[in-house]
Amino acid sequence: MTTSQAKERPDIAIFPDLNIAIRTPAGRQYRGKVLEHPSQHAEGESWLQIQFLEGAGKADTHEAALLKQQYRKSGRPDYFPAESKAEPLDVSFNRLPANKRTDRNADTLIGELWDADGLWTVLIKPSKAARVLYAGSVLPSQSEIAYAGSKISQYQRPARPEEADSPTVAATRGPKVAG
């Protein structure tokens, strides 16, 4: 596989058999199984749950075990947002809140992934590819970007060239979701 082919693949892919593959910008890879649940808040909507993501490689599996052990001892890091319910290597994808939906993001689901590197924001939307149900992006959460000791804030997506002169626009621009 060439470098250009690797870049074309989304960070997250959920397949018709409800298997999921996640690749973080830091290079970790995870696999798991997705459960779909009907929403308790909006008729006809659903949310997706992934528990116990497994590292695709030996190093990722080892780091995941250490993270879970640390979580049992110390809980979530202090810099995580108070409203975060992130648990190590579990992801719940929910629809964007109705008041934040636009025509462009109406079908986007958002979640958090906490791995050995830190807290990631994960975004998915229905895929146009026949062999993929959902595809999406992984990027550092806002709490990671604000945290001076973050290992992953360096993986912020660059601003579009036309926004480079405007730090306010670049900072508030939402992430691009692959699809």
Residue 178 in any domain: the answer is no
Residue-range definition of the domain harbouring residue 83: 3-172
pLDDT string in tens for the chain (179-residue length): 444 444 578 999 999 999 999 999 999 999 999 999 998 888 888 999 999 999 999 999 999 999 999 999 999 999 999 999 999 999 999 998 888 899 999 999 999 999 999 999 999 999 999 999 999 999 999 999 999 999 999 998 876 554 444 333 333 334 444 44
Residue 1: predicted pLDDT:
44
Pair type for strands 19-23 and 12-14: antiparallel
Structurally, how many domains does the chain consist of?
A: 1
pTM, 2 dp: 0.83
Residue 179 in any domain: the answer is no
Please give the torsion angle defined by the CA atoms of residues 70, 78, 100 and 15, in that order, rounded to the nearest 10 degrees: -10
Residue 117 in any domain: the answer is yes
Residue 90 in any domain: the answer is yes
